[in-house]
Structure 1
Amino acid sequence: MSESFALAAERLRELDRDRYAASLIVPGEHRQGVQAIFAFSAEIAAIRERVSEPGPGEIRLQWWVDAIEGEGHGAISSNPVADALLKTLETYALPAGPLLRLLAARRFDLYHDPMPDIGQFEGYAGETVSVLYQYAAMILAGGSADEAADAAGHLGVAQALGGHLRAFGYNAARGQLFLPLSVFAAHGVREADVYAGADSAELRAALGQLAELAHQHADKARSAIAPLSPRLKPAFASIALVDMDLKRAGRHVAAPFIGHRTPSPLSRMFALTWWMLRHGRS
């Protein structure tokens, strides 16, 4: 493994423990490529935590656009995540377009406009999360992996819903609403109520509806993963973590503004390994 790939893997472990753990399920000969894709995503997702206003975030996103389009200024290779990403795209002949769409979608993170509706959320999740699993499947397939599109699509939406249910209170305190505003409005919950931290039966009903939607996407993901070739299944081991999170979703629905203890990294790794032993070879 080159130094850039080793540093990218370490950066992934620092920023996104879940996807780092999931990457360890991938066979060794393809692991560094998957880690490079995941590390890129983790770097982009972290931008909103590093900036206090949209302008600097837009500049960082544009730097990545330039790097991927080959128009970067300065030493792109001095950034290990960028270097590992570009080498992965070249090695596996992966298209760059979906990464550019991921960067465009992540502009939403920098502002305080609420997510309008379910369709917009599913599109956002597809371009920021589902795409990662489609890339992982392509790396494992050594080329096109069209048969994995449904699995990637549903897994990404289920994981995004679960993650934003878990982070609902944190984001609300920052004046951000990543979950669909239309669902809250349908239950009589105003945007201002969310930002004020006003718990209510109506709010919990809205969150419960979104948790049910996450379960539906997870069910569809499992059905789509089941018939895939064993060669591709390691790309989708994260379904084990989604299932673990959705079993705990009721806690976040019942107390949306209270922090909850997250499962230990060891339990996350065990869930991934157990899933692979049960499903990875069938």
Structure 2
Amino acid sequence: MPQNIEIVMSAVRAADRDRYLSALYAPADKRDALVSLYAFNAEIASIRDRIHEPLPGEVRLQWWRDVIAAGGEAGAGHPVAEALNATIAAFKLPKLAFENMLEARIFDLYDDPMPSRTDIEGYCGETAAALIQLAAMVLDPVEAPRFAELAGRAGCAQAMTGLLLLLPLHRKRGQCFIPVDILAAAGSSPEEFVAGDGGPGAQRAVAAMRALAREHLSAFEQGAAALPVSLRPAFLPLVLSRAYLDKMEGLRRSPLDGVVRLSALRRHWLLLRRASRGWPAL
């Protein structure tokens, strides 16, 4: 790993605290690799926030494509790029997964509506689910392929929960990740959802999105007891996804209005308990 891994670790700690905490439960010789994956994800997920026009954002995504395709010393001087290329080489990770992740992130740069449930599941699969599977390949390349389907369910649950948490930010910039078909069933539309108070169908649409996240989370939890100890760190953030969803449903105020947070103590406790005990059989 590059000597400046501390810079990379600090970036993940600041940008993605939940994944940073989960990485601390990985074996010491795998921790830096996981952090490099999470730092890359944080970098490309935040392009919209740092580069406010779509075209420069696409240029940045292309830069990452070129760096990953070239490998080796490509991206020298960029701590995250150096760490990521070292991880890809050391663990023989498939570059196609990163290409697909970058392609999916183009959607973030624009305000186009998410057409359907199938489309958002595909988006989650290429982003959060792929990241879980890559982390699993770092942790245990022999066992990881057996749990690819479980990673897909986990990634959908995690990403959808994250999108719900980011509703206030997305609405502020006129972006709607709730699929058009879900909005229509709730009596709303992307235009109405991002305007003002979201309209009369907004709460129904959010409830439907939470239900979809829970559907994937429940499917993951049905099979999670079979996860070997070696793969647990890749899936640990899912225990926080459940806690976030529970808290959203328990709040009296609308999730459209404010960000839902968990205390640092609660996050540490939930991760520690699941890391030590695993998931119960259901």
Instruction: State the TM-score, normalized to the length of structure 2.
Output: 0.93
* Matched residue, 1:111: 110
Contact 1:222–1:239 (CA<8 Å) still a contact in 2? no
* Matched residue, 2:183: 184
| Percent identity of paired positions between Structure 1 and Structure 2 | 37
**1: CA distance, partners of 2:71 / 2:146:** 33
Q: What SS class does the counterpart of residue 52 from structure 1 fall into?
A: coil
**2: CA distance, partners of 1:250 / 1:139:** 35
* Matched residue, 2:33: 33
- CA-atom RMSD in angstroms: 2.1
1:205 aligns with 2:204: yes
**2: CA distance, partners of 1:186 / 1:269:** 38
Shift of 1:155: 1.0
Instruction: State the TM-score, normalized to the length of structure 1.
Output: 0.93
**2: CA distance, partners of 1:253 / 1:192:** 25
Shift of 1:133: 0.8
Higher alpha-carbon deviation: 135-144 or 231-240: 135-144
- CA 1:23–1:152 in 2, change beyond 3 Å: closer, same or farther? same
Query: How do 1:46-61 residues align onto structure 2 when only pairs under 5 Å count?
Result: 46-61=46-61
1:11 aligns with 2:11: yes
Shift of 1:77: 1.7
**2: CA distance, partners of 1:215 / 1:252:** 17
**1: CA distance, partners of 2:263 / 2:99:** 34
**2: CA distance, partners of 1:195 / 1:31:** 39
1:23 aligns with 2:23: yes
**2: CA distance, partners of 1:222 / 1:127:** 21
Q: What SS class does the counterpart of residue 78 from structure 1 fall into?
A: coil
**2: CA distance, partners of 1:253 / 1:90:** 49
Higher alpha-carbon deviation: 111-120 or 215-224: 215-224
Query: How do 1:159-238 residues align onto structure 2 when only pairs under 5 Å count?
Result: 159-238=158-237
Shift of 1:265: 2.6
- CA 1:190–1:235 in 2, change beyond 3 Å: closer, same or farther? closer
- State the 4+ residue runs in structure 1 displaced beyond 6 angstroms: none
Stretches of structure 1 that go unaligned for 5 or more consecutive residues are none
Shift of 1:202: 2.4
**2: CA distance, partners of 1:195 / 1:261:** 19
Number of aligned residues: 281
Shift of 1:54: 0.6
Q: Counterpart amino acid of 1:170?
A: L
